[in-house]
A = this chain, B = another copy of it.
Amino acid sequence: MQHDHSDSIQRLKIIEGHIRGIQRMLENDQYCIDVIRQIQAVQAALNKISVKLLDGHLNSCVLTAIQGEDAEERTRVLKEITEMFETTTKV
């Protein structure tokens, strides 16, 4: 299934620059709490990409698999969703 990921790729390029900025903050020995806040901002930006990818995935691969004939494939795509949720909720 073909997706248009140009928006996510663009966001990743921005995140790449953000991470280089954090490297410079550490090289300049900036205040640790400010650095950690920037890392948290990167993680929030990464979460947005994950949510976008999941949304696309559900409305394409998952939809097709569930409407398809292959019962094993159906089980597999649903299991992946549960596992991803499990990973993100681990305390």
A interface residues with partner B (beta carbon < 8 Å): 2-3, 5, 8-9, 12-13, 15-16, 19-20, 22-23, 26-27, 29, 31-33, 35-37, 39-40, 42-44, 46-47, 49-51, 53-59, 61-63, 66-67, 74, 78, 80-82, 84-91
Contact = CB atoms under 8 A, between A and B. Distances in A.
Given A40-B50, A49-B39, A91 B88 contact: yes
Contacts of A89: 47, 50-51, 88
- How many identical subunits does the complex contain? 4
Given A12-B19, A88-B89, A89-B88, A29 B58 contact: no
A89 B37 CA distance: 13
A25 to B, nearest CB: 9
Contacts of A40: 50, 87-88, 91
Contacts of A31: 61
